[in-house]
Amino acid sequence: MRATRLDGIPPTIFSTMSALAVRTGSVNLGQGFPDRDGPAGVLDAARTAIADGHNQYPPGIGIPPLRAAIAAHQQRHYGIELDPDREVCVTTGCTEAVAAALLGLVDPGDEVVVLEPYYDSYVAMLQVAGAVRRPVTLRAPDFRLDADELRAAVTPRTRFVLLNSPHNPTGTVLTREELQAVADLAIEHDLVVITDEVYEHLVFDDHEHVPIATLPGMAERTLTLSSAGKSWSVTGWKVGWATGPAPLVESLLAAKQWLSFSSGTPFQHAVAHALDHEADFPLALAKDLQGRRDLLCAGLAEVGLAPRVPEGTYFALTDVGHLGWDDGLEFCETLPERAGVVAIPAQAFHDDLDAGRHLVRWAFCKEPDVIEDGLRRLREAALEK
Ligand code: GLN
């Protein structure tokens, strides 16, 4: 038995593929989580918070030191000024922030423009909210945002853009020009932009993450979502946040209070410590991750799966059509058996199946020896169809 609001929504591909990795003893290059923990001082801060008795409900909006730390982070990195009491809300990971934003802001029938391939929770929560999604495809091989396709997706019923940059799963970091195209449309059509920026610090080479809230005229119409999980390698802590104009944050909180009510107290204290005292960790992580990106991309190229080199995030996308596979899902389903490796079929993230059928996502947020092991297995396997 299942409510119709979840019709057609499959189990999340991340749970399915991680369970497959465990079941088959495969190297998990699928779900994006690091296998090295974040900084020791941050882990200690969580233990200390528990020992110090920070174990009961915090305020739903989040503990004051964390909201202050989030506001200071936005100021320090991007020059964004926020009132921590009205323009910041702590959430249970960015996934809850997405859910609460959509449930708190979107009415049934509202059209929401969303980049595809998309993170799978967007589809589920848009459907639960009764929204109509208007996908705009980032297409292989470059995965850039096409301003004309974007414009064509907007209709008189459009009220929101759900943005994600740095973008999972393509690894695209939207340029200032691409973001300006979104901003122009948002201003012209009076749209609210909800932007998922969880990979904000994980950008490589000379690419730069530009929060769309910093473009002229956008601060007042942008709800920015992020989290600590990726930046401080604590994905299991599930501490995220939303920042933006008070009315948008209030609407998100109006929904969040009925989802989780509030988010884990000791982890909030520890993340406040991370933001205030381990501010450089994400930058060092990005440098290190860039080396692992290069390791994975070179190894994939060696087995005939040269990826588009990602500009940010944890992920690289390859086209398995080069090896004779016309279906990336079939490739991924049989990969554990053939090679002992798990990857994610990117078609799970598309409305436009033709654009995504051949694409497979590989995570490089793993330790170098894990990536090497995965690559060795791929080299030794029969990968061609
Ligand atoms: N964001 C992670 C990924 O894309 C997974 C998060 C999750 O499993 N919910 O792999």
For the chain, residues classed under CATH 3.90.1150.10 are: 4-38+281-380
Best residue among 12, 13, 20, 31 to mutate for probing ligand 1, ranked by most atoms within 8 Å of CB: 31
Whole-number Å distance between alpha carbons of 57 and 25: 39
Nearest to 58 by CA among 331, 298, 262, 358: 262
**Atom 2 (ligand 1) nearest CA:** 32
pLDDT of residue 150: 98
Check pocket membership of 170 for ligand 1, CB cut-off 6 A: no
pLDDT of residue 253: 98
Class of 4-38+281-380 in CATH: alpha beta
Check pocket membership of 31 for ligand 1, CB cut-off 6 A: yes
Both tokens of residue 119?
């993170």
Our CA dihedral for 250, 255, 258, 260, rounded to 10 degrees, sits at -90
Helix (H, G, I), strand (E, B) or coil at 201: coil
Minimum-distance ligand 1 atom for the alpha carbon of 169: 4
385 residues of the chain, pLDDT tens digit each: 899 999 999 999 999 999 999 999 999 999 999 999 999 999 999 999 999 999 999 999 999 999 999 999 999 999 999 999 999 999 999 999 999 999 999 999 999 999 999 999 999 999 999 999 999 999 999 999 999 999 999 999 999 999 999 999 999 999 999 999 999 999 999 999 999 999 999 999 999 999 999 999 999 999 999 999 999 999 999 999 999 999 999 999 999 999 999 999 999 999 999 999 999 999 999 999 999 999 999 999 999 999 999 999 999 999 999 999 999 999 999 999 999 999 999 998 999 999 999 999 999 999 999 999 999 999 999 899 8
Looking up tokens 């995570």, which residue turns up?
Answer: 363
User: β-strand 359-363 against 315-319: which pairing, if any?
Assistant: antiparallel
Nearest to 350 by CA among 313, 317, 306, 307: 317
Whole-number Å distance between alpha carbons of 376 and 384: 16
Best residue among 12, 14, 197, 344 to mutate for probing ligand 1, ranked by most atoms within 8 Å of CB: 14
Q: Could you tell me the sign of the dihedral formed by the alpha carbons of 112, 211, 239, 83, in that order? A: negative
- Contacts with 148 (C-beta within 8 Å, 6 or more apart), sequence order: none
Per DSSP (E only), the strands in 264-335 are: 315-319
Strand partners, 227: 240
Instruction: Say if residues 345 and 360 touch (Cβ distance below 8 Å).
Output: yes
Helix (H, G, I), strand (E, B) or coil at 244: coil
Whole-number Å distance between alpha carbons of 348 and 334: 16
pLDDT of residue 1: 86
Ligand 1 centre to CA of 190 (Å) is: 31
Q: Which helix (H) or strand (E) holds 337?
A: helix 328-339
Compute and round to an integer the Cα radius of gyration of the chain: 20
pLDDT of residue 254: 98
For the chain, residues classed under CATH 3.40.640.10 are: 40-277
Check pocket membership of 14 for ligand 1, CB cut-off 6 A: yes
Class of 40-277 in CATH: alpha beta
Nearest to 175 by CA among 332, 276, 312: 312
Strand partners, 27: 341
| Burial class, 72, CB count within 10 angstroms (exposed 0-12 / middle 13-18 / buried 19+) | middle
Instruction: Say if residues 96 and 229 touch (Cβ distance below 8 Å).
Output: no
**Atom 8 (ligand 1) nearest CA:** 14
Strand partners, 241: 90, 226
Q: Which helix (H) or strand (E) holds 133?
A: strand 132-137
Q: At residue 281, what are phi and psi to the nearest 5 degrees? A: -55, -45
Both tokens of residue 117?
């391939």
- How large is the angle between the packed helices 328-339 and 13-24, nearest 10 degrees? 20
Nearest to 212 by CA among 227, 198, 224, 204: 224
